[in-house]
A and B are shown apart, each in its own frame.
Chain A
Amino acid sequence: MKAIRILTAAAVVLSLTLVASVEASQVGLSVEMSNPLLKAQKKQTTFLKVGLTGFKIKSAKTRAPVNITLVLDKSGSMQGTKIDEARRGAIEAINRLGVNDIVSVVTYDSTVEVLVPATKLTDKASVCQKIAQIQAGGRTALFAGVSKGAAELRKFRDKDRVNRIVLLSDGKANIGASSPTELGALGASLKKEGITVSTMGLGLDYNEDLMLQLASRSGGNHIFVEDAEHLAGIFKDEFNTVLSVVAQEVAVQIDVKKNIRPVRVLGREAEINGQQVITEISQLYSGQDQYVVLEVEVPATPVGAATQVATVQVTYDNMLTKATDKLTGTASVNFSDDDKAIASQLNPQVLEASVLLLANEQNKLATILGDKGDLAGAQRCLDANTRFLKKYAAELNSDELRLYYTQNARHAELFKNGQYNVGRKQMRSDQFKADTQRGY
């Protein structure tokens, strides 16, 4: 027995050293312009893409320890299959964690109960047993549930751990703060501490805006689970992401050069302070690509005047080396009169990302119109968006854009068939995925 333990320890040490030496345990940074060659003597906007790639972790043993809080809805509407599946999903997910991980479970209905206070997962059985005893009944004190969950998480909050709240709800919050803005503000505040909140909306009765705001402003995931039967799989996926985090608190700072104006960051919350753009990506998963697309306005410039657009500085907490790494990059453009040359130098990847995010903005606009009751306007907006996507999908020969325009066309169908109310959750969830580059 002892021998085995020593052997295992040795293997861990060996693999760690191997990983450290063999793996490129650094986040990859790319800073690119959609149009490296711009038309001269013309004021125009163009896109700058900061691409980040999470390095791959080869073995599950090298993953960062996690500090996770499950905040589970046990309101009356959860009765039946939903609570059964939620219990099963949570237990299965917890069984995938190890002894170095910290787990806590908070349940809420009209009130909140800290079912399992934050603890190292040395006694899985008792945690699972407690989860198995959850019974549904009552109203939905969602805000309080997240508050208590965050407090549990904070007990062991650590830069070297993946700190995440996983919130499950199937209904509208009706006790305590319950507006999307309030929950979003809480998410933003938690993000500053390095806590992300992933939200799982179950069924068709939850408030997707609230759940989305909380997830997006805290940097977590949002998953729309229409059918409770899929819950276990969703829990598994969510834990997969948590267990594959390689970098945390990825702060991206883009210093835009004088005369060039930063217009907006597409699909992401960012702070534009004059010439400085600051945004933060909460977590990067193993092998995951994340990017920030900044729209900039370039003044009319003569031919041949090579101009640096911005310098980019990225700092992040490396979960493998437990160090804070710093990356830098720059982007510049050239100016030409030669339209052909300009076209040939287009960066299809940057353009693809930009188009996708721009189209997503349009898609969100359609939601806003739909919410106002302007179904025809929303449909027109989506139709135009489909055409726009189709054009670029052909031009860039992009499968991703093709996928996106079929999705966009599907959304348009919702308005056409008067199924907006039913499809809204899916649509919002799709928008979220596009913004956070989670794939489709």
Chain B
Amino acid sequence: MRATPVILLVLIVCLPVALLAWLGSRMASDEQTVVEQRFRSLLTAQLRDIDQITVAHFAVTQRELRAIGKLPSFQPADIRSRLREAPLVRQMLVYSPNGDVLHPSGPLNAGEQEFLLQASDLVTDRDLFYAAGGKRRTARPPQRSARSAAPPAVERQPDAPAKDEAQEPAESNTTPPSPTEGWHIWYWGRGVHLFYWQRLNSGHVVALLVERSRWMADLIATLPQTVSAASEATPSSSKGEAARKAGGKASPSVSEVTSSRIRLLDSVGRPVYQWGSYEPDEAALEKPFAEVPVSSPLTSWRLQAFVPPDLVQGASRSARFSMTASLAAAAVALCLLVAFFWREYRRELREASQRVSFVNQVSHELRTPLTNIRMYADLLESDLDRMPDDETTQPRSRLKVIAEESQRLSRLIGNVLTMARQQRKALALKPQPAIVDDVIRDVLRQFEPALSRCKVEATFEAASGESVSVDVDVLEQILVNLFSNVEKYAAAGGVLRVASSQTDKTTTITVSDAGPGIPPRQCDAIFRPFYRSSDRLVDAAGTGIGLSIARELAQLHGGDLRLVASETGACFEVTLKTG
């Protein structure tokens, strides 16, 4: 009886807390994903900005190269002296308008020889010449890994994208306006080499092999550097200056605000340059948090960003903390609420039991005066017997009412006290030899005046004439409860049938009526204490404990009280162990 509310209360606390915890963890993990996503897009945008630095850098480089490539003459001496003064350029390749190599040719110096050896395919297959829009004289040679991509050239025709031009099939006779300059990518030796070519007005194609180490060094110089904590304290004017010079955006970025690592990787994934104070775990092959390809001409290169994993998690950690805190608060609030309810419940329980014991006491106190009333009523009756009949008619009928009502009151008190004893587990049988039919007749006699007033005809089929061991008080109380129910609820039927039967061990009594009966769904409920099948005002008043007590008593007596199916009205069957 006590365990159920405790379990209920624990559930009231645990279920919502568990639900909240689950929702909270879901939200935290969602939050983590959202934070990561936001971080990633931020870093990607930053990498794009950095890519713009490279684009701007190559635009500047292109301007320089364009000036270098505008040769006043194609004399080897002039070309060589130009090369000596151009730090950006390693060698030059000059094609005549019809595709012949003008330079380097003739007596070569060591550098030119080396160049021709390295670039023999490029020179003899005229890859560059064709890439630069030169007219083909023979079938197109197989394309090597070399690709051509045009820069945003000023001289380029706006409706002729350079990429299409580079891919233009040889068979096509209609030549669209072709670009006059561009990058040519050449994979050789340690990686990507850049040629910058331009077609001069004279039809000559001049290709400059950009010194690989140099353009890498210049690119590195334009990219940001690592700013250590020490020099951040005294902000240097050159911070990001190179980037600004190259036209890139050098606003304080994620990499400068937080510790991260940006890496520029070449075609095979080797880092060319990196910056930022975060040191990714090399051994664990840490994956980049964001990656962006580099724009033309270094299309095979990539930019990667690394950030410390705990940085990303840290952002959501605060969210998780507040989640836990609110969860704890909710749990505490629920606990307080439940504690309050528990206290209230206990108080009510205590008050109820106090009330019950009060009622018990009162009932007990009432019994003595009631007994006196009944005794004096009996004495009065015998006094009246000695008086002449015509004088006593009126008092006798009044005395009858007193007797009836006091009997009813005594029944009520008997029920209340039985229940009180039952709750104290103080019910005890006091069996004595008696004849069950006599007991039934006694009780019926008690009810006679009330029944006749209700116009209920009582019939009794007596078949238990043997003297058996039975607690007469218990049996009386059971019968009284059943009969008073008929009087109260089934008087309309006008019939009360009582039958008794006996075996060696048990005595069975059935009490049936022709009243409205009991709806099937209430068959069990009617035996519960304080249950009343109808609360309608027109129905008779009752305490709702009669049937409950009757059943308890029957069970105490080793039997039972059951509702038996019947065609009309209600039929109760009492079995008692009387062996």
Do A and B pair up? The answer is yes
Do the beta carbons of A183 and B213 come within 8 Å of each other?
Answer: yes
Do the beta carbons of A189 and B216 come within 8 Å of each other?
Answer: no
- Minimum CB–CB distance from B188 to chain A (whole Å) comes to 12
> Is B324 among interface residues, defined by CB-CB distance under 8 A?
no
- Minimum CB–CB distance from A70 to chain B (whole Å) comes to 15
Do the beta carbons of B87 and A190 come within 8 Å of each other?
Answer: yes
Do the beta carbons of B231 and A130 come within 8 Å of each other?
Answer: yes
> Is B212 among interface residues, defined by CB-CB distance under 8 A?
yes
> Is A272 among interface residues, defined by CB-CB distance under 8 A?
yes
> Is B110 among interface residues, defined by CB-CB distance under 8 A?
yes
270-316 of chain B: CB within 8 A of chain A:
271-277, 279
From B6-14, B221-229, B405-413, the one touching the partner chain is: B221-229
Bound Cα distance from A113 to B229, whole angstroms: 11
> Is B80 among interface residues, defined by CB-CB distance under 8 A?
yes
93-124 of chain B: CB within 8 A of chain A:
106-107, 109-111
What number of B residues sit within 8 Å (CB to CB) of A? 45
> Is A274 among interface residues, defined by CB-CB distance under 8 A?
yes
Bound Cα distance from A27 to B87, whole angstroms: 26
Residues of A within 8 A of B73 (CB): none
Bound Cα distance from A278 to B109, whole angstroms: 10
278-310 of chain A: CB within 8 A of chain B:
278, 280
> Is A114 among interface residues, defined by CB-CB distance under 8 A?
yes
Do the beta carbons of B213 and A177 come within 8 Å of each other?
Answer: yes
> Is A179 among interface residues, defined by CB-CB distance under 8 A?
yes
Bound Cα distance from A179 to B228, whole angstroms: 28
Do the beta carbons of B231 and A115 come within 8 Å of each other?
Answer: yes
> Is A28 among interface residues, defined by CB-CB distance under 8 A?
no
- Minimum CB–CB distance from B413 to chain A (whole Å) comes to 97
Known contacts A141-B274, A185-B212, A192-B85: does B217 contact A179 (CB below 8 Å)? no
Bound Cα distance from A175 to B226, whole angstroms: 14
Bound Cα distance from A146 to B106, whole angstroms: 37
- Minimum CB–CB distance from B397 to chain A (whole Å) comes to 119
Residues of A within 8 A of B90 (CB): 185
Residues of A within 8 A of B85 (CB): 192
- Minimum CB–CB distance from B328 to chain A (whole Å) comes to 43
A264 (CB) vs chain B CBs: closest residue: B110
Bound Cα distance from A183 to B213, whole angstroms: 7
Do the beta carbons of B272 and A113 come within 8 Å of each other?
Answer: no
Do the beta carbons of B226 and A113 come within 8 Å of each other?
Answer: yes
What number of A residues sit within 8 Å (CB to CB) of B? 41
> Is B76 among interface residues, defined by CB-CB distance under 8 A?
yes
> Is A110 among interface residues, defined by CB-CB distance under 8 A?
yes
Do the beta carbons of B80 and A151 come within 8 Å of each other?
Answer: no
Would you give the 0/1 interface string for A257-279, flagging 1 where the beta carbon is closer than 8 Å to chain B?
00000000000000111101010
Residues of B within 8 A of A181 (CB): 190
Bound Cα distance from A211 to B342, whole angstroms: 84
Do the beta carbons of A113 and B228 come within 8 Å of each other?
Answer: yes
Residues of B within 8 A of A182 (CB): 190, 212-213
Summarize A's interface: helix, strand, loop or mixed.
mixed
Q: Which of A151, A175, A190 contacts B274 (CB 8 A)?
A: A175
Do the beta carbons of B217 and A110 come within 8 Å of each other?
Answer: no
> Is A144 among interface residues, defined by CB-CB distance under 8 A?
yes
Residues of A within 8 A of B236 (CB): 114, 117
B81 (CB) vs chain A CBs: closest residue: A278
Would you give the 0/1 interface string for A181-195, flagging 1 where the beta carbon is closer than 8 Å to chain B?
111011011101100
> Is B214 among interface residues, defined by CB-CB distance under 8 A?
yes
Q: Which of A189, A276, A278 contacts B87 (CB 8 A)?
A: A189
Do the beta carbons of A150 and B212 come within 8 Å of each other?
Answer: no
Do the beta carbons of B231 and A113 come within 8 Å of each other?
Answer: yes
Do the beta carbons of A189 and B271 come within 8 Å of each other?
Answer: no
A277 (CB) vs chain B CBs: closest residue: B109
Residues of B within 8 A of A183 (CB): 213
Bound Cα distance from A111 to B110, whole angstroms: 36
Known contacts A272-B110, A273-B107, A278-B84: does B211 contact A185 (CB below 8 Å)? yes
Do the beta carbons of B211 and A114 come within 8 Å of each other?
Answer: no
> Is B242 among interface residues, defined by CB-CB distance under 8 A?
yes
Q: Which of B110, B214, B228 contacts A271 (CB 8 A)?
A: B110
Residues of A within 8 A of B88 (CB): 189
Do the beta carbons of A185 and B220 come within 8 Å of each other?
Answer: no
Would you give the 0/1 interface string for B74-91, flagging 1 where the beta carbon is closer than 8 Å to chain A?
001100100011111010
Known contacts A113-B228, A185-B90: does B217 contact A150 (CB below 8 Å)? yes
Residues of B within 8 A of A193 (CB): 87
Would you give the 0/1 interface string for B259-278, flagging 1 where the beta carbon is closer than 8 Å to chain A?
00100000000011111110
> Is A147 among interface residues, defined by CB-CB distance under 8 A?
yes
Do the beta carbons of A274 and B211 come within 8 Å of each other?
Answer: no
> Is B230 among interface residues, defined by CB-CB distance under 8 A?
yes
Residues of B within 8 A of A231 (CB): none
Bound Cα distance from A113 to B220, whole angstroms: 12
- Minimum CB–CB distance from A145 to chain B (whole Å) comes to 9
Bound Cα distance from A280 to B245, whole angstroms: 32
> Is A148 among interface residues, defined by CB-CB distance under 8 A?
yes
Residues of B within 8 A of A274 (CB): 106-107
Do the beta carbons of B220 and A147 come within 8 Å of each other?
Answer: yes
Residues of A within 8 A of B226 (CB): 111-113
Residues of A within 8 A of B218 (CB): 147, 151
Bound Cα distance from A226 to B275, whole angstroms: 31
> Is A138 among interface residues, defined by CB-CB distance under 8 A?
yes
Residues of B within 8 A of A113 (CB): 225-228, 231
- Minimum CB–CB distance from A353 to chain B (whole Å) comes to 22
A151 (CB) vs chain B CBs: closest residue: B221
Known contacts A113-B226, A138-B279, A185-B213: does B221 contact A150 (CB below 8 Å)? yes
> Is A133 among interface residues, defined by CB-CB distance under 8 A?
yes
Would you give the 0/1 interface string for B216-253, flagging 1 where the beta carbon is closer than 8 Å to chain A?
11101110011110110000111001100000000000
Bound Cα distance from A433 to B330, whole angstroms: 81
Q: Please provide the 3 A-B residue pairs with the shortest distance between their CB atoms, ordered closest to farther.
A: A151-B221, A117-B238, A147-B217
Residues of chain B at the chain A interface (Cβ within 8 Å): 76-77, 80, 84-88, 90, 106-107, 109-111, 190, 211-214, 216-218, 220-222, 225-228, 230-231, 236-238, 241-242, 261, 271-277, 279
Residues of chain A at the chain B interface (Cβ within 8 Å): 110-115, 117-118, 130, 133, 138, 141, 143-144, 146-148, 150-152, 175-177, 179, 181-183, 185-186, 188-190, 192-193, 271-274, 276, 278, 280
